[in-house]
Amino acid sequence: MNARSPATLVADTGRGNEAAILNAALDAFGTAGFHGASMRDVAKRAGTSLSNLYNYVPSKSRLLAEVLRRANDELAARLRAAVDDAGDDAVSRLREAVRAYIRFIVEHQVAMVVSTNEVRYLTGADRASLVAERDATQAVFEGIVAQGVAEGAFRTPYPDDAARTVLTALGAVAGWYRPDGRLSRGQLAEQQARYALALLEAPLPH
Amino acid sequence: MNARSPATLVADTGRGNEAAILNAALDAFGTAGFHGASMRDVAKRAGTSLSNLYNYVPSKSRLLAEVLRRANDELAARLRAAVDDAGDDAVSRLREAVRAYIRFIVEHQVAMVVSTNEVRYLTGADRASLVAERDATQAVFEGIVAQGVAEGAFRTPYPDDAARTVLTALGAVAGWYRPDGRLSRGQLAEQQARYALALLEAPLPH
Amino acid sequence: MNARSPATLVADTGRGNEAAILNAALDAFGTAGFHGASMRDVAKRAGTSLSNLYNYVPSKSRLLAEVLRRANDELAARLRAAVDDAGDDAVSRLREAVRAYIRFIVEHQVAMVVSTNEVRYLTGADRASLVAERDATQAVFEGIVAQGVAEGAFRTPYPDDAARTVLTALGAVAGWYRPDGRLSRGQLAEQQARYALALLEAPLPH
Amino acid sequence: MNARSPATLVADTGRGNEAAILNAALDAFGTAGFHGASMRDVAKRAGTSLSNLYNYVPSKSRLLAEVLRRANDELAARLRAAVDDAGDDAVSRLREAVRAYIRFIVEHQVAMVVSTNEVRYLTGADRASLVAERDATQAVFEGIVAQGVAEGAFRTPYPDDAARTVLTALGAVAGWYRPDGRLSRGQLAEQQARYALALLEAPLPH
DNA sequence: GATGAATGAGCCTTCATTCAT
DNA sequence: TATGAATGAAGGCTCATTCAT
Residue A7 pLDDT > 60, yes or no? yes
Burial of A99 (0-12, 13-18, 19+ CB in 10 A): buried
Does residue C33 sit at the D interface (CB-CB below 8 Å)?
A: yes
Q: How many other C-beta atoms can be found within 10 angstroms of the C-beta atom of residue B44? A: 14
Residue D158 pLDDT > 80, yes or no? yes
Residue B77 pLDDT > 90, yes or no? yes
Nearest CA distance, A40 vs chain B (angstrom): 16
Residues of D in contact with C176 (CB under 8 A): 164
pLDDT value, residue B1: 41
Q: Please give the residue of chain C at the shortest CA–CA distance from D163.
A: C195
Interchain CB distance below 8 Å, C162 and D36: no
Interchain CB distance below 8 Å, B198 and A201: yes
Task: Give D44-85 pLDDT, tens digit per residue.
Answer: 999 999 999 999 999 999 999 999 999 999 999 999 999 999
Q: Please give the residue of chain D at the shortest CA–CA distance from C33.
A: D35
Find the Å distance, CA of residue A149 to C1' of nucleotide F16: 51
CA dist D34 and D31 (Å) reads: 9
User: Of the candidates C32, C168, C200, which has its C-beta nearest D172's C-beta?
Assistant: C168
Least confident of B129-133, D15-19, D155-159: D15-19
Interchain CB distance below 8 Å, A199 and B199: yes
Does residue A195 sit at the B interface (CB-CB below 8 Å)?
A: yes
- Report helix, strand or coil for B62: helix
Beta-carbon-side half-sphere exposure of residue C159 (alpha carbons within 13 Å): 18
Question: Is there contact between D21 and strand E, defined as CB under 7 Å from any strand atom?
Answer: no
CA dist A194 and C134 (Å) reads: 89
Q: Does domain D67-199 have CATH number 3.40.470.10?
A: no
Interchain CB distance below 8 Å, A194 and B161: no
To the nearest whole percent, how much of chain D has pLDDT over 90?
A: 91
Whether chain C lies against chain B with 3 or more Cβ pairs closer than 8 A is no
Q: Does domain A18-199 have CATH number 1.10.357.10?
A: yes
State the nucleotide closest to C61 in CA–C1' terms. E16
CA dist A84 and A93 (Å) reads: 8
Burial of A5 (0-12, 13-18, 19+ CB in 10 A): exposed
Question: Is there contact between C49 and strand E, defined as CB under 7 Å from any strand atom?
Answer: no
Burial of C94 (0-12, 13-18, 19+ CB in 10 A): buried
Which residue is the nearest neighbor of E17, CA to C1'?
Answer: C59
Residues of A in contact with B36 (CB under 8 A): 34-35, 121
pLDDT value, residue A5: 56
DSSP A113-162: HHHHHHGGG--HHHHHHHHHHHHHHHHHHHHHHHHHHHHTS---S-HHHH
Question: Is there contact between D47 and strand E, defined as CB under 7 Å from any strand atom?
Answer: no
Interchain CB distance below 8 Å, B165 and A157: no
Residue C1 pLDDT > 90, yes or no? no
Least confident of A7-21, B30-44, C52-66: A7-21
Nearest CA distance, C123 vs chain D (angstrom): 10
**H or E element in which residue C51 lies:** helix C50-53
Mean pLDDT of chain D: 94
- B8-57 has which fold? Arc Repressor Mutant, subunit A (1.10.10)
CATH architecture of the domain B68-199 equals: Orthogonal Bundle (1.10)
Q: What are phi and psi of A131, to 5 degrees?
A: -60, -40
Q: What is the mean pLDDT of residues B157-185?
A: 96
The domain ranges of chain B are 8-57, 68-199
* Protein-contacted bases of chain F (C-beta within 7 A): 1-20
CB proximity under 8 Å: A 114-173 to B: 117, 120-121, 155-158, 161-162, 164-165, 168-169, 172
Task: Give C75-102 pLDDT, tens digit per residue.
Answer: 999 999 999 999 999 999 999 999 999 9
